[in-house]
Amino acid sequence: MVSLSDVARSAHVSKMTVSRVINHPEQVSLEIRTEVQQVINQLGYVQNRAGRALANHRHYNIAFILLDNVDEIEPYYAHLLIHLTDVLQAYGYTLEIRHEHNFDVTNVDGFLISGVRHSDYNALRNLSIPVVIYGSEPGITAVDIDNTIGTQLATELLLKQSYQQILFLGMDVDEAFEKNRENGYRQAMQTAKKPIQIYKLANDGHVSREFLIGLSLMPKTGIVAATDRLALGALRACIYQGLSVPHDVGIVGFDGIYVHQLAEQSLTTVKQPLKAIAQQMVHLLLDELSGKTVQSVYIVPELLIGETTK
């Protein structure tokens, strides 16, 4: 059986260093952690999980809770889960998956949560273990993209491409992320001294298609959509009306996770970097478990240029 001493000898480090890599990886540099982990994998060293948990007063189990309605969202959560699992595994943790409001703290060290709404605030604030959310909610440690900058970039792109009027298709929800996406559009239009046109719709491509057909889009119109679903509906409204995209109408969506690939033309969109988001979520949660003071992280997004802009 491979021992801790065998790992230390092969990695040319002390037993204490190997122990820290396994039990407190945040205390070890990435270079050393990577080298020791490679040796652990090569030798097939397996630590007694129960003993490790007992010694460190932890379960080495993190719960991921999906609060979104799965039928109404893109399958971003599958990609996010893969990235979360990979990062946690490197730190010796397993990931437990839950759906709906299951905040039972038994046998878990912390929660990673997606789909939080303002109505969840009190329940999350009263939990006895650390929580990190994917999104934005004041008073809760969060990782998210900067939604305001995202729609600013989208709007500025359409302005540079000389579209004469630019409208915003928002979601008819009272949530912080939607307000931030709307504000990004507002700020860019105010800076450019252009008229603001905002329409709030259900997050459904069929709804946005029918709405824009009824609006009778004019050539040289730019559309900033709060989601790729709304952008997809906008594209199909243009096709129905015989408008050329991007010559007559430019369209930018938001998310860049799945739906943008389903369009007749690939959507230009604000892409969410899920791998970076997963890494930040895990790092913040483990820092909280170690007693460190943490702050929410907001990642600046990038535009993924497709065929719906020039």
* Domain 61-144+273-299, CATH number (from 3.40.50.2300, 3.40.50.720, 3.90.1260.10, 1.10.3210.10): 3.40.50.2300
Spatial CA neighbour of 17 closest among 35, 2, 44, 1: 35
At residue 151, does pLDDT exceed 70?
yes
Q: How many CB atoms lie within 10 A of CB 301?
A: 23
Q: What is the pLDDT of residues 105-134, one digit of tens each?
A: 888 999 999 988 878 888 888 888 999 999
Kindly tell me the burial class for residue 37, based on how many C-beta atoms sit within 10 Å of its own C-beta (0-12, 13-18, 19 or more): buried
Contacts of range 229-232, beta carbons closer than 8 Å, 24 or more positions apart: 229/74, 229/203, 229/204, 229/205, 229/259, 230/169, 230/171, 230/201, 230/203, 230/204, 230/205, 231/169, 231/260, 231/263, 231/267, 231/269, 231/308, 232/205, 232/208, 232/259, 232/260, 232/262, 232/263, 232/267
Please state, in angstroms and rounded to a whole number, the distance separating the CA atoms of residues 114 and 99.
10
- For 32-81, the pLDDT digits (tens) are 888 988 988 888 776 655 445 444 556 789 999 988 766 656 667 788 89
Q: What percentage of the chain carries pLDDT values higher than 90?
A: 57
Alpha carbon distances (Å) from 293 to 20, 24, 127, 289? 21, 17, 17, 10
Same fold for the domain at 4-47 and the one at 61-144+273-299?
A: no
Return the domain boundaries, the chain. Answer: 4-47, 61-144+273-299, 147-272
Taking the alpha carbons of 260, 265, 269, 271 in that order, is the dihedral positive or negative?
positive
Between 3.40.50.2300, 2.120.10.80, 3.30.420.10, 1.25.40.10, what CATH number should domain 147-272 receive? 3.40.50.2300
Say if CB 153 and CB 272 are below 8 A apart: no
Identify the band that residue 291 occupies on the pLDDT scale cut at 50, 70 and 90: confident
Per the CB < 8 A criterion, the answer to whether 201 and 169 are in contact is yes
From 308, 273, 134, select the one nearest 124 (Cα to Cα): 134
- The CATH superfamily label for domain 4-47 reads lambda repressor-like DNA-binding domains (1.10.260.40)
Identify the burial level of 193 via C-beta atoms within 10 angstroms of its C-beta, where 0-12 means exposed, 13-18 middle and 19 or more buried: exposed
Q: What is the pLDDT of residues 197-254, one digit of tens each?
A: 999 999 999 999 999 999 989 999 999 999 999 999 999 999 999 999 999 999 999 9
**Rounded to an integer, what distance in angstroms lies between the CA atom of residue 234 and that of residue 184?**
20
Rounded Cα distance between 28 and 37, Å, is 12
| pLDDT, tens only, 164-198 | 999 999 999 988 889 999 999 999 999 999 999 99
